[in-house]
Chain A
Amino acid sequence: MSKSTGYAGQILEINLNEKIAERKDLNKEFCMKYLGGIGFNARIIYDGVPVGIDPLSEANILAFSAGTMVGATFPTASRTEVSAKSPLTGRFGTANSGMFFGTQLKNAGFDSLIIKGRADNTMYLLIEDGEVSYLDAAGLWGKDSWETIDILKKKYSGCEVAAIGPAGENLVRFASIENGYYDAWSRTGMGAVMGSKNLKAIVVRGTLGIRPHNVEKFLDVSWKARKLIESSPFFVPFKSYGSMNAAMPYGKFNALNANNFSQGCLPDWKEDFARSKVEEITNGHIACQSCIIACAHWVEIKEGKYKGLRMKGMEVTPIASFGSGCGMSLEASVKASEMHQKYGMDMVSSSGVVGMAIELFNRGIIKTEDIGYEVAFGDDDAILRLMDDIAYRKGLGNILAEGTLRSAQHFEDGAASAMHVKGLEIPMIDPRGRTSTWSLGILTNIRGGDHLRCRNPIENLRYNENKYNFQKERFGFDRPMYDALDMPEDLKPKAIDLENDTTDIAVMSRWSEDLINLFNSLGICIRPPVEHKIGPTVLAEAYTAFTGIQITPEQLMQSAERIWNLMKLFNLREGEKPEDSKFPQRFYKIEVGGKKLDEVQMQEVLRQYYLERGWDSDTGIPTEEKLRELGLDTMQS
């Protein structure tokens, strides 16, 4: 492809055993079908990972792909996807992160890195202006991720670093890869895959530049997108409070994971974790590449045990995971976030497995002598100690480091306390408190129990009474919000019933999964002000101007759908069964706030969703017709 395509133009394939690298040119057809970011990864992992391999063996592949529009002026285009077969779920493992790694990767000349094999000795990679160096990581192995990043950023000025910490080295199945000091590829254990390859860090730095095809048009559409985002009613709240916006409403609806999903909300949640707390302990905002929102905060703990702790923080996922999921104090939750970033460990999975352990302790199944000390929800010190044990696989931590699904098998009736879907620990959204597009997404997500791949573009964070048999959620907005949604005109009335003020969960789930997949391919952020007004129309205009490849909004959405289906085929090939798409039994049997799920009705919603997807309505397997339509009919599932 020519130089002026927005793409860097090459995929770099590195073999760690042989220390050799191969460069492959992108072609137009591949770009149109798989776009970039998660799309490139889907094809790379599907084609390159043999069926049934141990994810921690050298046969696994670790792929880093920058979103197509990363490193330019399109607002929030900063994100890079990392994928491999997950050591936690055995399915398609994938995680998305922003900041500046993707910008440097593209400036170094590559849209994607494919890492194969296993280094003989611990190693880090330096990728700079088209060249690869294989460097000895003996001095870095054993150091935490921030120490590693410190050393490498000082050594290679202006670089970006992806590094693992002790959890990745110790093959904790939910280890993360840290993306500089501020962000991470956290879910599904990508850090353990990197650790299994003896790869401590990847340093990227480049000066090669990114050339848009049509500068004028691309700048115009970037500006248009900015105005759309800024005019969303979600913009100001997100600018001010970031993702913490969601913490309060979810507490109100009993939709928080409180003490391992035993309650919908903690009694003092409202006081201890209110928005005012964000103002109290933060000063200043932090942005990823080209972001106009800057939802992240700089936190400074000014008093108490953790006085002096300073870091980027106060985001809802860690705060809800530790503060609500394990009942920790706000200050200790921030401390736990710091610890997880240094150790390189996923906060959601870690708090999930710790929540399970505490519950088993309370049930008398795990005993004091098994751990060496007592644990309890809200016991900050004991919980931090247990998390430390997990990262270093000490004592009981060695079992818990295997994740909830595997470690539950070590304990009598452990599965009853293991709160996961398809082996991935569920974050803070309890569907009993509020069934929604968001909560159905936890069931249908390619990566398992996770909340980040399906969310109503106009998430209303409002109470839902479940009076619609779990099939509908309240719309809760006025007509202008409906009109502003960038959705095909024939789909809109199917997804939203303005008269009855409802959203159809199955229809909206399918749409939003594809939309988020499109965002994760192009490198756009899924924060609500973006997801609300940015859709295929603007993105097709931007993609065409940026790359010079003519694409329609319909083609973009079809590519997003193709990518989702390909990842589903990967999961099916690895043995995914229809019955795996099920919430933990607790959600169907035990009430929170007077509500629980109805198994039969949930199955019906799932059936509706499969039909929307063009999949077999009973098994959730893509039909031959659908695969033919997507050009995936030659793929094996």
Chain B
Amino acid sequence: MNKQIMIDAAKCTGCGLCQVLCSLSKSHQFNPSLARIKIWREETRGVFIPLTCQQCVNPPCVNACLMNVISKDPITGVTVRKTENCIGCRACQIACPFEACSYDHLLNVVVNCDQCGGNPACVNICPFGALQYLPVNEALNTCRDAEAVRRANL
């Protein structure tokens, strides 16, 4: 994989711009319930954690899908879906450890972030640098380590 959406939850303020633009890009309406990025809101602790597809190397959703809808794109490494075969059973949603599979209630299928084909809308609009689109390299790994430590200490 060349690049990936990197989440820095410490910078997230919960503004939700990522969600409204994501739903507009994918479903042609401002509608957080259709966004492929969620914000886990721990309001009584002042914590906001954006959740979207982490493009796992060995994705639990792929293994959970009975219909072979989900696969890894061999070139980009992005987790992609043939939604025409999706039966909407939502097994992938249960399997995903990041709550990153979204149920599209208009089409009755489950979807995930496809990084907008290399130009992710959510990253472009995030005003606080909580979402970045970075090459998968040492720097990215460092970011993820730091984020893991932060979450463990919350």
Contacts and interface: CB of A to CB of B under 8 A. Distances in A.
B29 A285 contact: no
Contact of A72 (B20, B28, B33): B20
Interface string A61-75: 000000000011100
A286 interface: yes
Interface string A285-328: 11111111010001000000000001110000000000000000
A288 B41 CA distance: 13
Interface in A76-101: 100
Interface stretch (A203-211, A584-592, A613-621): A203-211
A182 B16 contact: no
Chain A to chain B: the 7 pairs with minimum beta-carbon distance, closest first? A209-B29, A298-B46, A209-B31, A287-B15, A287-B13, A292-B127, A294-B13
A535 interface: no
A456 interface: no
Interface in B1-46: 10, 13-17, 20-21, 23-24, 27-34, 43-46
A208 to B, nearest CB: 7
A288 B14 CA distance: 7
17 contacts: A73-B20, A73-B21, A107-B33, A181-B43, A207-B31, A209-B34, A212-B30, A284-B46, A285-B13, A286-B13, A287-B15, A288-B15, A289-B15, A291-B15, A292-B127, A294-B128, A310-B46
A146 B43 CA distance: 11
Contacts, number: 85
B15 A209 contact: no
Given A210-B31, A286-B13, A289-B16, A73 B128 contact: no
Interface of A: 71-73, 100, 103, 107, 146, 150, 153, 158, 180-182, 206-212, 215, 219, 226, 284-292, 294, 298, 310-312
B30 A71 contact: yes
The number of chain B residues touching the other chain, given as a range, is 20 to 34
B28 A211 contact: yes
B140 interface: no
Given A291-B15, A294-B15, 11 more contacts: A107-B32, A180-B43, A207-B31, A207-B105, A209-B34, A215-B28, A286-B14, A287-B15, A289-B16, A292-B15, A298-B46
A181 B44 contact: yes
Nearest to B23: A209
A255 B99 CA distance: 51
Contacts of B14: 286-287
Nearest to A76: B15
Contacts of B29: 209-211
A292 B32 CA distance: 18
**Of A150, A206, A290, which is in contact with the most chain B CB atoms at under 10 Å from its CB?**
A290
Nearest to A70: B30
Contacts of B109: none
Given A72-B30, A310-B46, A215 B24 contact: yes
Contacts of A210: 29-31
A103 B16 contact: yes
A310 B45 CA distance: 7
B65 interface: no
Nearest to B21: A73
A165 B32 CA distance: 29
